[in-house]
Chain A
Amino acid sequence: MIATDFTPWSAAIGGAMIGLSAVVLMATAGRIAGATGIFAGLFTGKYDDDFRWRFIFIVGLLAGAAISGWLVFDARDIAFAGGPALSIVGGLFVGAGVILGAGCTSGHGICGLARFSRRSLVATCVFMGIAIVTVIVTRHGLGG
């Protein structure tokens, strides 16, 4: 466990950029800016127009991260909860969960809530709540 600084300004600026991304994508392509749907749609084996916009979005996402890592974000701050095994288990749970639940933090938590979807409200409350309980139990034990 490593403490991190409370950074309301960079958090709000970054959050607003994610929101702006969702607005641009809906206004121009009519698509939900959900990382799950966009990324998972790459693995259909078809390299058509649908594949193309998803691929370009992910390329932009990687480039946006690289550019801000170069200009403003210090990547040395990144710290993980555990090693490869934990990353693999976490990735398997997240990958299966977001497909079954049809969305993640961006698709349900931002885009879904912004269009008043009841499914997204339920999903967001559940995954947020379970994540909080999971962290409290793994860090502090069952006694909290």
Chain B
Amino acid sequence: MKMLSVLIAGLLFGAGVTISGMVNPMKVLNFMDLPGLWDPSLMFVMGAGLVVTLVGYLLIFRRKAPLFDDAFHLPVSTMIDAKLVGGAVLFGLGWGISGFCPGPAIASLVFGNAESFYFVAAMALAMVLTKSMLARSAA
């Protein structure tokens, strides 16, 4: 049951980033181009996504545990540090250069454009390297 529900969540996510147009980097970049070719669509993606999640989470967190797992797996850190802000700066730069963030980039692989493959391969490599760097500095 858990794996079926995870599959459904994945399907919804992939369909959502595609139908909303986020798999099209040009559309995302146009959202950020306030003084130019501004396309406000992404505001509606974020807005609708946030409202649905907010209401859903309020109902879910009344329970002690999820349906098919022992506990909720939630981040525990509350620290606003240089790592968080610096990471967000790097991510914002990459997002602004390319128009891709991780979810839509992975989803866009199915449309077969070479740029998607280059992006996801580079992203996966940077993820692995950064994780091992963090693990080493923590050890």
**B108 close to A78 (CB less than 8 A):** yes
- The closest CB in chain B to the CB of A91 belongs to B122
B53:A23 contact, CB within 8 angstroms: yes
Shortest Cβ distance from B22 into A: residue: A14
**Complex formed: what's the CA distance from A1 to B73 in Å?**
41
Give every chain B residue within 8 A of A61 (Cβ-Cβ): 10-11, 13-14, 17, 103, 106-107
B41 touches A8 (CB 8 A): yes
Query: In the bound complex, what is the Cα–Cα distance between A18 and B5 (angstroms)?
Result: 14
A positions within 8 Å CB-CB of B: 1-8, 10-33, 35-36, 39-40, 43, 52-53, 56-69, 72-73, 75, 77-84, 86-102, 104-106, 108-115, 117-119, 122-124, 126-136, 138-140, 144
Q: Given the known inter-chain contacts A27-B60, A27-B67, A56-B3, please indicate yes or no for A78 contacting B44, CB distance below 8 A.
A: no
Q: Check B127–A95 contact: CB distance below 8 A.
A: yes
Q: Are B3 and A12 interface neighbours, CB within 8 A?
A: no
Residue of chain B at shortest CB distance from A61: B14
A31 contacts B37, C-beta separation under 8 Å: no
B81 to chain A, nearest CB (A): 9
In the complex, the chain B residue whose C-beta lies closest to that of A16 is B48
A-B pairs with lowest CB-CB distance, top 10: A60-B10, A14-B20, A101-B87, A134-B96, A64-B14, A130-B92, A90-B98, A19-B52, A95-B126, A93-B94
By a CB distance below 8 angstroms, the chain B residues around A108 are 88
Q: Are B89 and A19 in contact (CB under 8 A)?
A: no
Asked if B21 and A7 sit within 8 Å, CB to CB, the answer is yes
Question: In the assembly, what is the distance between CA of A124 and CA of B17, in Å?
Answer: 18
A58 partner residues in chain B, CB cutoff 8 A: 10, 106
**Mind listing 20 A-B residue pairs with CB under 8 Å?**
A1-B33, A4-B26, A10-B19, A11-B21, A18-B45, A28-B68, A29-B9, A56-B7, A60-B11, A67-B11, A80-B99, A81-B98, A89-B122, A94-B90, A104-B103, A112-B75, A118-B78, A118-B80, A122-B84, A134-B93
* Residues B14 and A80 in contact, CB atoms below 8 Å apart: no
Q: How far is the CB of A42 from chain B (nearest CB, A)?
A: 9
A57 to B, closest residue via Cβ? B10
| Complexed CA–CA distance, A6 and B20 (Å) | 11
Asked whether B136 is an interface residue with its Cβ less than 8 Å from the other chain, the reply is no
Residue contact A17 to B34, C-beta cutoff 8 Å: no
B72 close to A19 (CB less than 8 A): no
Given contacts A65-B18, A81-B99, A126-B88, contact A92 B126 (CB under 8 A): yes
Mask: chain B, 36-54; 1 = CB below 8 Å from A; 0 = not: 1101111111111111111
**Which A residues are CB-close (under 8 A) to B107?**
61-62, 64-65
